[in-house]
Amino acid sequence: MKKLITLMSLAVVGLSFGQEEEQAPKFNVSGSVDAYFHTSLNGPNDVPAGYVGNAFSSAPSAIMGNDDRGFSGANANVKLSYEGEKVGFVADLAYGPRADAQFYDFGVVNEAYMYWNASENVTLMMGRWNSWMGYENFAAADNFHYSYSHQYTFGPRNMNGLAAQFSLGNDVNLGIGVMNPVETTEGNTSGDYSVAAGISKGDFGASFLSSQDETFIDVKAKFSLTDSFSVALNGNIASWDDDAMLTGTRGVALAGTEGYMSLSAYSQFQASEAFAWGVRLEYFNIKESVGDDTNVISPTLTGNYSVGNLTIRPELRLDSASEDIFWNSDADDYQGGLSTFTLAAVYSF
């Protein structure tokens, strides 16, 4: 099998099942290290990043641990994997602010799961894994943009359970899973479980996740318009009951809401062998329980310049909201927009 199959394959494009003939078992070590400089152009740079009081002092992805101002190391990520003829495992370990923000339950463990290729067209897996929704992943090396989208920031991320993946032929793939409630990755004392399913064909996919009082639906499609220019589209809808016990970052900043909708377009242009640039344009709608909904538009312009295994990423992000949800530069009043600049370096091995 050319690639380890993760649960992301439920909805992400390009699933790959089966084994190469006579493939010898392989043990692999890979990963990345990243660091950054970050500053707010019209917001406060002398207060903690994140949701402070009743407003954001930085872009909402600060909750994910990558928007502290000044210079910072963001993460060190090491993935250990074994690919056998029929069975294998993945142990993905991470340390740093991003890991601290996500892995409040498992310390440095990002993913830890085993898989079994039960047949040429069926793969079973069990353990802990990341969400398959959207186009963004945990490690900076696996993303084009350095900051996270709102959809990734507030969406479900960590899960424990059992999943099955099926190759149905004609590039059609199906996945189903039974898991603990969303982001309950240890100590499930509720007696509840979540269910998920997804189907994909080529560059198109759709999936859903139902977990206690929360429901998530995700649709994606990618178009390669030329050899150097592509556009990926992603739609994500989340809803929950008024009295839902929200987990993760939803519990931090979206308490008292009824859900959200995210519509994103990712355009990327390969200008040369070493340089590419892209724009992520996201519309994020927060469904308020009382009063008007809050809408946020977040264009993010990112460059990727590669020098061997090192990628240098300058990024300009502009968040504009229909309500005053950001602190101003003096942190004494609210404003509706926030502009930030980041210069990141990501080394992959």
The tokens for 274 are 């070493």
- The verdict on residue 310 lying in a domain is yes
Render the burial of 292-315: b for 16+ CB within 10 Å, e for the rest: eebebebebebbbeeeeeebebbb
* Separation of alpha carbons 339 and 315, rounded Å: 11
- The verdict on residue 152 lying in a domain is yes
- The secondary element (H helix, E strand) that includes residue 206 is strand 204-211
The predicted pLDDT at position 21 comes to 52
- The verdict on residue 1 lying in a domain is no
The predicted pLDDT at position 184 comes to 79
* Residue 212, domain extent: 7-348
101 φ, ψ (degrees, to nearest 5) = -75, -30
- The verdict on residue 217 lying in a domain is yes
Q: Which of 113, 101, 119, 104 is nearest to 167 (CA)?
A: 119
The predicted pLDDT at position 191 comes to 86
Beginning with the edge strand found earlier in the chain, give each strand of the sheet holding 55-56 in spatial order: 51-52, 55-56, 326-327, 334-335
Runs of H (alpha helix) within the chain? 97-102, 150-154, 248-253
- The verdict on residue 2 lying in a domain is no
- The verdict on residue 303 lying in a domain is yes
Ordered DSSP codes for 209-261: EEETTEEEEEEEEEEE-SSSEEEEEEEEEEEE-TT----HHHHHH-TTEEEEE
The predicted pLDDT at position 285 comes to 96
- Please give the chain's pLDDT, 349 residues, in tens: 433 333 334 433 333 334 445 567 799 999 999 999 999 999 988 888 877 888 888 877 756 776 788 998 889 999 999 999 899 999 999 998 888 877 766 678 899 999 999 999 999 999 999 888 999 999 999 999 999 999 999 998 888 999 999 999 999 999 999 999 887 777 788 889 999 999 999 999 999 999 888 999 999 999 999 999 999 999 999 999 877 778 777 887 788 899 999 999 999 999 999 999 999 999 999 998 888 899 999 999 999 999 999 999 999 999 999 999 899 998 899 999 999 999 999 999 9
The predicted pLDDT at position 11 comes to 38
- The verdict on residue 265 lying in a domain is yes
The predicted pLDDT at position 103 comes to 73
CATH number at residue 290: 2.40.160.10
- The verdict on residue 61 lying in a domain is yes
The number of domains in the chain is: 1
